[in-house]
């Protein structure tokens, strides 16, 4: 490595080495085919996803009303996410209430698009977005996760190596770029989670930020703020909910997600610095949105919510800041908080969520508390979806 005098050369060498090392790391973590696979769920977990109690689930098996599933070495039923969908189908035919086991939207209900945003880095945007997308999928909704962060953290969590796999395209950039955009259907890919598809991100998305000023000058249509929404429109029939993970910037990408969204979810760590930074974010967002609305952007939305993340209730100053937010923004602040937990950060180290990790490797209490916290957040979000769909 010695003897290299140019900064671009040494940075390029470092980038190449890191990219190979990351790829190898992925392969060794998720062997044999370098693709992630979803673990099986216990009957307690399965019953919870299906929103019935475990005894009832057992009874359905006993009565032969639902397909049988694999047993583990100790004779306990283990449910794959695919088998949960088959069970949903069987239960739906026996249910008196239509849609009880497929809670997604009906033909007259509108696609819900949730943009997770804030320009503060590290405020749990990606962690929130991916848990939200996965949990909604496990609960029986048809979900599309859209990663518009050039850092592509969410895409990596789905088991891709953006720096090597999308070198020749394949990200959501292809569907929103100004030069011959591709059909959105061609960039959406299935994941190892049934009911959950991904429009992946890559560094190339940063081009969108660079190209947009020129496209605006040239009067290119559709305008930047319409492009993501129009891309999502092309595949809307396939989904109930879209979850967009935004970059930690207030650029054209974040703006287009906010304009496409029916719900904007702003993740905020309850600390003085974070809240001060969010203040700037809100002020800038409002003035930029006002400008684009004069250029014809529709700014209709169903919900704007603040989610308190990485929350440590026992930390006095944090609890105080959380109280401050609630006093100020009242019911715009989600009732449930996303607790700070080593279960989340440890799972994150291997690019996994709480739904993916092998629970036995975690302290039971720590895991359960973190899971309860995020499940409650998603549960509250499900309530908002139902509200948007005008259901009781």
- Interacting residues with Mg ion (CB under 5 A): 125-126, 153
Cβ-proximal residue to Mg ion, closest one: 126
Residue whose CB is less far from Mg ion, 81 or 374:
374
Quickly count: other Cβ atoms within 10 Å of residue 241's Cβ.
25
Asked if 174 contacts 234 with a C-beta cutoff of 8 angstroms, the reply is: no
Nearest alpha-carbon partner for 286 in 264, 270, 262: 264
Contacting residues for 189 by C-beta, under 8 A, at least 6 apart? 170, 197, 198, 199, 200
Considering the complex, state which of residue 83 and residue 351 has its C-beta at the smaller distance from ligand ATP.
Answer: 351
Q: Is 341 in the site for ligand ATP (CB under 6 A)?
A: yes
Q: Which of 83, 134, 153, 336 binds ligand ATP (CB under 6 A)?
A: 153
Q: Are 228 and 260 in contact (CB under 8 A)?
A: yes
Binding status of residue 123 toward ligand ATP by CB under 6 A: yes
Structural contact between residues 184 and 199, judged by C-beta atoms closer than 8 angstroms: yes
Is 121 one of the binding residues for ligand ATP (CB under 6 A)? yes
- Smallest gap, in angstroms, from Cβ of residue 137 to ligand ATP? 18
Q: Which residues pair with 188 in a beta bridge?
A: 199
CA distance 361 to 354: 11
Q: Which of ligand ATP, Mg ion, none sits in contact with 121, Cβ below 5 to 8 A by type?
A: ligand ATP
Binding partner of 163, given ligand ATP, Mg ion, none, CB within 5-8 angstroms per partner class: none
Candidate residues 124, 155, 262, 351; the one interacting with ligand ATP per rule CB under 6 A: 124
- Residue 348: contacted member of ligand ATP, Mg ion, none (CB under 5 to 8 Å, by partner type): ligand ATP
Query: Closest CB to ligand ATP among 139 and 340?
Result: 340
Instruction: Check residue 311 and report its DSSP letter.
Output: B
356 binds ligand ATP (CB under 6 A): no
Query: What is the rounded distance in angstroms from the CA atom of residue 46 to the CA atom of residue 165?
Result: 33
Intra-chain end-to-end CA distance of the chain, in Å: 65
| Contacting residues toward ligand ATP, per CB under 6 A | 121-127, 149, 151, 153, 248, 309-310, 338-341, 344-345, 348
């Amino acid at each position: 490595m010695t003897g290299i005098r140019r900064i671009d050369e040494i940075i390029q060498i470092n980038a190449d080495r890191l990219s190979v090392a990351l790829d190898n790391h992925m392969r060794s973590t998720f062997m044999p085919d370098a693709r992630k696979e979803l673990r099986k769920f216990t009957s307690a977990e399965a019953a919870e996803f299906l929103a019935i109690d475990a005894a009832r689930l057992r009874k359905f098996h006993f009565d032969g009303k639902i397909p049988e599933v694999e047993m583990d070495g100790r004779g306990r039923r283990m449910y794959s996410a695919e088998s949960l969908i088959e069970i949903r189908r069987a239960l739906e035919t026996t249910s008196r209430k239509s849609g009880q086991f497929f809670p997604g939207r009906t033909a007259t209900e509108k696609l819900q698009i949730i943009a997770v945003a804030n320009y503060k880095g590290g405020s749990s945007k990606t962690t929130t977005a991916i848990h939200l997308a996965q949990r909604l999928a496990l609960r029986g909704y048809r979900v599309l996760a859209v990663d518009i962060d050039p850092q592509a953290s969410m895409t990596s969590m789905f088991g891709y190596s953006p720096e090597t796999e999308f070198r020749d395209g394949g990200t959501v950039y292809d569907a929103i770029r100004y030069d011959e955009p591709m059909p959105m259907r061609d960039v959406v890919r299935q994941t190892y989670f049934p009911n959950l598809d991904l429009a992946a991100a890559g560094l190339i998305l940063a081009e969108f930020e660079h190209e947009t000023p020129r496209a605006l000058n040239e009067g290119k249509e559709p305008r930047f703020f319409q492009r993501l929404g129009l891309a999502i429109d092309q595949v809307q029939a396939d989904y109930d909910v879209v979850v967009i993970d935004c970059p930690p910037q207030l650029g054209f990408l974040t703006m287009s997600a906010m304009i496409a969204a029916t719900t904007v979810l702003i993740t905020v760590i309850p600390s003085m610095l974070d809240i001060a930074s969010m203040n700037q974010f809100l002020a800038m967002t409002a003035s930029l949105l006002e400008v684009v609305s004069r250029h014809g952007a529709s700014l209709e939305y169903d919900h704007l919510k603040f989610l308190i993340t990485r929350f440590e209730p026992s930390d006095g100053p944090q609890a105080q800041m959380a109280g401050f937010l609630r006093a100020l923004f009242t019911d715009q602040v989600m009732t449930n908080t996303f607790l700070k937990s080593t279960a989340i950060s440890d799972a994150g180290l291997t690019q996994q969520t709480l739904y993916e990790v092998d629970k036995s490797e975690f302290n039971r209490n720590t895991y359960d508390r973190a899971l309860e916290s995020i499940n409650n957040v998603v549960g509250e979000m499900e309530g908002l979806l139902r509200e948007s769909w005008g259901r009781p």
